Amino acid sequence: MSQTTIVLGIAFFLNTYLVAQDKTEKITLNNQLKEISGLETYRDSLLVAINDSGNEPFIYFLTKKGIIAHRCKVSNHPNIDWEDLSVDDKGNLYIADVGNNSGVRKEFQILKLSLDEAFINSEVEAQEIRFVYSESKIKQNSESTFNRNCEALIWWQGRLYLFIKNTKKGPKRKVEIYSLSDAIGSYSAEYSGELQIKGNRGPRNVISAADFFDGKLYVLTYKEILIYTFSNKQWILINRKKLHSPEQYEAIEVQGKKTIFVASEKNKILGGPNLYIFEND
């Protein structure tokens, strides 16, 4: 038996065992979503998903069992590096085209469109919220982890909040937060505080997605879900949920008070892409 076969067998066993142990439902998604990077909810019965850079600019509507029910192309904007999704209280979808792993991008876009229109059409045009990041905080703080690379977005009370990917190693990682209006226009995203991710040293603890539900912020890393509440003008960590299978988790959606959906990209060893359904306890 080859070493590769042994590794594959161990990975499969651990993945299956730990999913069963946590009473977590696991669904293998269609290969069209091999680089899934965002999840949202539509009409309480469907999920909305996207892929990240290098893929076609499609919005996918999925059943809760992961079946693709419809897809819609954004016809007027390429997928430069789509990283996350959010929805406002009027049914507008925001697509965060904000990925910047290479570090060369200086200007970014958040695409805004109607979910209702995307669901009934094969193509839609999106409006653009264009922005750069404010330089004031960077110049003031030489210890800043800021690197113009973002993979997480939420909408909250008329504003969009971007969570900068925390690549700096250490026992107390800072995740810097920038915000801007949800109205169409051009902006300088302003520094709006930070999160502390304590006790995490490895590269698997960079932030990859976020969601906001019922007054709580859910932050996804490649290792766990971190849950925060906002108090005294700061985000306070109140709970954390381990993700046992060593996958590249890229999308999170909290649906109601009982359910959390998490999606991971396709992996050569672990398979996928996968959709996990957790109890929100």
pLDDT in tens, 219-269: 999 999 999 999 988 899 999 999 988 899 999 999 988 899 999 999 998
User: Which one, of 205, 251, 255, 210, lies nearest residue 228 by Cα?
Assistant: 210
| Contact (CB, 8 A) for 123 and 73 | yes
- What is the rounded CA–CA span in Å between residue 100 and residue 131? 14
Stated pTM of the model: 0.88
- What is the rounded CA–CA span in Å between residue 174 and residue 83? 20
Tell me phi and psi for residue 202, to 5 degrees.
-85, 165
Local structure of 270: helix, strand or coil: coil
Report residue 125 CA to chain centroid gap.
Answer: 22
Q: Would you say residue 191 has pLDDT above 50?
A: yes
| Contact (CB, 8 A) for 161 and 192 | yes
Beta pairing, strands 224-231 & 127-133: unpaired
* Per-residue pLDDT tens over the stretch 31-66: 999 999 999 999 989 999 999 998 999 999 999 999
In this prediction, residue 250 carries a pLDDT of 96
User: Which one, of 25, 91, 93, 99, lies nearest residue 60 by Cα?
Assistant: 93
- What is the rounded CA–CA span in Å between residue 206 and residue 166? 5
Residue 277 is encoded by which pair of tokens?
A: 């359904």
Q: Would you say residue 157 has pLDDT above 50?
A: yes
Q: Tell me the chain's radius of gyration from C-alpha atoms.
A: 18
Please tell me what DSSP assigns to residue 271: B
- What is the rounded CA–CA span in Å between residue 154 and residue 209? 9
- What is the rounded CA–CA span in Å between residue 59 and residue 42? 12
Q: How confident is the model at residue 20 (pLDDT cuts 50, 70, 90)?
A: very low
User: Which one, of 204, 203, 206, 149, lies nearest residue 174 by Cα?
Assistant: 206
Beta pairing, strands 82-87 & 92-97: antiparallel
User: Which one, of 153, 154, 147, lies nearest residue 174 by Cα?
Assistant: 147
- What is the rounded CA–CA span in Å between residue 166 and residue 19? 28
